[in-house]
Structure 1
């Protein structure tokens, strides 16, 4: 009887590990093993197929000598900055408005969150139609009588990257709103009431008390949206396909084109490693700050 109980207790202790083991193995193989393999390929002369020789940093030198990569990096800075600023600002504003216990809050929250339920392929395709000068906003306004109105950003190399920003912000603002709203609902109402008793106006309360208390939510939004911006691929592919020309090229689309269209696997792997390093530069400080706060707490 004691042996049976001992076996049952050991099995109960090992059961969670046994259940999680297959998923952990899949993650190790499909994520970390392939990251390691990509790193190896970036130091080889691989083109159409992998070649396991060692050429040092040659592929990285070729990568940074490619004008299209410079365009992709510049576009990433433009897209990421505007995407983060607008998505965070609009999400915070919507969360504050919903936090006022307005009517139909559930309906509005569902409306704001609905774009996040769509894939970036669907979003890109829909906005491609909306911004098409012969089909979307420009045509509708022209048909209403304003024949001089033009909205052809999607075909303008100087403005096309901003169409990607618009589509990305439309999809991700609701996600930021949900995180901020959860943070707002976790703040004790007595803080607001105490400030109101002292004579502080509601805008002043939000600006100097509530928003600073949303620091953890703000940090989470920035980190997650930064990750989305860096890996954006399907949105650009569906909306502009990197064009016109290379006007909306991002590192993710450059990596795809270099690997599968131009048969430069080594250069594509090098660009993937550069993206990985960018993501790590965002995630590692975030994890460090979270662990430090937890240990200090």
Structure 2
């Protein structure tokens, strides 16, 4: 196996299993004579719980991953052009989506047999905000080999609504949804400049539309996963109730079986005693019959002698 395949395997394991598996792979590489690979394997760091949960999300929800990456790309490209209203709208979509995906990551961890805390879930959500804000973070996350949670940059609207694009010094505040820095001088632009601005605006609107569509798609997928989560939790609760009822029935039946076994032992003991008494009575009866027969014989002999 190459380093990439080994890393894929290791970062899919719970953190508690990481060190042992890494040691085995490094030892196998050394045995095969590949000391360089063994050294690289040994340098792989064990992930934190939140990094592991984030890696599970990448592996378990590929459609949501694609939607989040597209949304982040559109947001980053449109960020400098958006007005405050648009930022608030998209920021709300981002927070809903990242919160839903963080909950899904927590459920995936529980399904893998290692439940995580709300604090870990919050770290996953911060990682997802970083993915939206930073293309390098997005690329690192999408590989599925995180070793620690990512931190979103300050000022990006995914991390805070206060991340409204900054205006140049002395420029007027945006009005009526117009981007900052545009004023009445637009009327003095040349036709070529105006056409260029129109193309730029059209491209900006296209990217904004794509970002909104990506957010909507990813949000729908997240809602679907939440519905599936609620259904799974309902089925789990029902199964737990059924198990509890079955255990209660098993306990009652076990008590009944125990009582029946005790009754059986008592009946067997009574039968044994009755058999002993019957044997003793039969022996006594035989003795009595023998005595009676002997007495009868003596009486007959006496009668014969008298005659």
Normalised to the residue count of structure 1, the TM-score between the two structures is 0.22
Q: Identify which of structures 1 and 2 has the higher relative contact order when contacts are C-alpha pairs closer than 8 Å and 6+ apart.
A: 1
- When Rg is computed on C-alpha atoms for both structures, the one with the higher figure is 2
